Amino acid sequence: MPATITRTSASAGDGMGRGTSSRRRSCRFSSQSARKPFIIGAMADERNSHLLYLVRHGQARTQGDDADRTLTDQGQDEIETIARWAAGAGVEPTQIRHSGKRRAEQTATILQDRLSADEGVVVGVGLSPNDDVRLVAETLESEQRTLMLVGHLPFLSRLISLLLLNDADRELIDFPTGAIACLLRKDENWRLAWLVTPELSVRAGFSRPKAGPHTTG
């Protein structure tokens, strides 16, 4: 059964893109958050490692064309909550990429408001729910920037499985709406450093506003 929180585990994986950033990127945690072991998978290897952040969009409405579905009130609250946590934890992506679908674009915009990625928010190629994760994994191989990819299931789950297990079809973790995962690559191997859900970030001290009626999506 997939685990919601997975501690660091090394595995074969490919690594996306071009360019470098003059600003050092790292997952930094304050002493307060460092006392929350239920959030942190393992941080010791993050120095001198290449980081990748994966974010699933917030809860979305079920009505309408798939590309145009927007976040529910609860979905917006989820992303506001996780974005506040990420900013406090020192998450600093160089660029935020999203699939182009409205719910992912909204998610990326909220994250950018809190995280201020140097290269802003752009539409990424190949990030739709059923796109081939191998194409993204191949582009990650030469990427030097710290990217944040905002997407969907099953894409994100399959990408993590491919990077960590070299098998996209092998389900590894749960990835609820609004969750953010930090992967690191060192010595050509990818590891999962941590995965945080909006609920866990609330437990870390970041309150979430009460949402409206629950809508799945």
- Domain of residue 169, CATH code: 3.40.50.1240
Question: First vs last Cα of the chain: how many Å apart?
Answer: 22
Q: Flag whether 3 is in a domain.
A: no
pLDDT, tens digit, 9 for 90 and up, residues 137-184: 999 999 999 999 999 999 999 999 999 999 999 999 989 999 999 999
Domain membership of residue 5 (yes or no) is no
Residue 98: closest CA among 110, 87, 89, 88: 110
pLDDT at 48: 62
Residue 113, H or E segment: helix 102-115
Q: Which residues contact 157 (CB under 8 A, 6 or more apart)?
A: 171, 172, 173, 175
**Structural domain for 190, as ranges:** 10-203
Number of domains in the chain: 1
Give the C-alpha separation, 195 to 41, whole Å. 7
pLDDT for residue 21: 39
- Has residue 192 been placed in a domain? yes
Residue 31 in domain: yes
pTM of the model: 0.77
Residues of the chain with pLDDT under 50: 1-44, 208-217
Say if 84 falls within a structural domain: yes
Domain contains 101: yes
Q: Which residues pair with 123 in a beta bridge?
A: 98
Specify the pLDDT at position 214.
35
Looking at the domain assignment, is residue 208 inside a domain? no
Structural domain includes residue 4: no
pLDDT at 47: 58
